[in-house]
Chains A and B, each alone.
Chain A
């Protein structure tokens, strides 16, 4: 039987969840025996080459590229897991949700104390190559269906490993009290 295939991505996140994932230390050797990785920053595979069993999503959706990638993951993964606070509730990027997009851009490119000297013409970047920002930052489960959620900022390496292990070995996931935290 072929190994289950795992894909991962970081949307509007800080890569902290991926760092925490790598914190499984030597267990990564067990993991490699258990699963095969497809599209992921860990192996630098940029595009899906086949259907995957599990997709791990870090970060929420703050622009149209995030939405595009998330929908691509939904289409290519049988199970999608939101990993971390940003994927689950927008996290730090969602602090901008209390302001209008215009207010954010004005502060970042026009009115911020550090940008005035460099932006005398008052240009807000609008090159068509740039992803278009959404009106606010959305949690992943408000964009596509998400099957499981692993909270934490970041979720501990134990939580990520145990969840992944439970999924690929088809065992119930135990969630000890100390492991599920929001910070």
Chain B
């Protein structure tokens, strides 16, 4: 049996199995730490930094840091919350996120975080970058305007032999998601839906699906993201 250890989050005593990542341990203790690039059960990457917490006085990403005995974690500190809000605002200004014209609106995790942190207007200037909209793949549309480069599609969508169907192309600020034409040739409808659903924003969309849920019935219309963890 895995060793049980004790630690605190904002002074609240919590228990976890040794080796668990902070974010998973927090979830089991009904404490929400916001995540965006993280997928439960898939090796974490720590690319979006939204899960930043203060561990024994130092900022760490909760999705990549394992808990240890006696760890003191600060999560709801106003400074940390403001850093997270700033990260959300950076993402909104760095890409082109026109929520009213996006199929993912209401089910989008980036938007849901902006709601949770009550972003009324970002503090940064909008960059309005020139990005592509690609519809060459038979089943998927890629809207690079919305991509936040979290790599969730690369890490989660694989074929039977473990090849990723998605990859990064180019470097630096030109980096973008591409679909591997060879491995994605036999992509099933189910895999296409999975890819669109694993995308936290509306960067990967299934062709001919469009809007599915009416306003008021979408995932984050009534309940803030994370409330399912807090109210367990």
Contact = CB atoms under 8 A, between A and B. Distances in A.
B209 interface: no
Interface residues of B, number: 28
Contact of B98 (A82, A95, A141): A95
A88 B121 contact: yes
Interface string A164-183: 00000000000101101111
Given A91-B98, A92-B98, A98-B96, A182 B120 contact: no
B221 interface: yes
Given A181-B115, A182-B100, A182-B114, A141 B224 contact: no
Chain B interface main SS type: loop
A141 B106 CA distance: 26
B121 A149 contact: yes
Given A90-B126, A91-B98, A94-B128, A183 B121 contact: no
Given A85-B100, A92-B98, A149-B121, A183 B105 contact: yes
Nearest to A136: B128
Contacts of B222: 177-178
A97 interface: yes
Among B106, B120, B215, the one with the most A-chain Cβ atoms within 10 Å of its Cβ is: B120
Chain A interface main SS type: mixed
Given A178-B222, A182-B111, A92 B100 contact: yes
A151 interface: yes
B121 A141 contact: yes
A81 to B, nearest CB: 11
B130 interface: yes
Contact of A85 (B99, B130, B223, B224): B99
B100 A89 contact: no
Nearest to B130: A98
A67 interface: no
Given A82-B121, A151-B120, A183-B106, A98 B99 contact: no
B72 to A, nearest CB: 30
A182 B126 contact: no
Among A97, A99, A182, the one with the most B-chain Cβ atoms within 10 Å of its Cβ is: A182
A153 interface: yes
Nearest to B114: A182
Given A85-B98, A92-B100, A183-B106, 8 more contacts: A91-B100, A94-B126, A97-B96, A142-B126, A151-B120, A177-B223, A178-B221, A180-B115
22 contacts: A85-B99, A89-B92, A90-B126, A92-B98, A92-B100, A95-B98, A95-B101, A97-B128, A99-B130, A142-B125, A146-B121, A149-B120, A151-B121, A175-B118, A177-B222, A178-B221, A181-B115, A181-B221, A182-B100, A182-B111, A183-B99, A183-B102
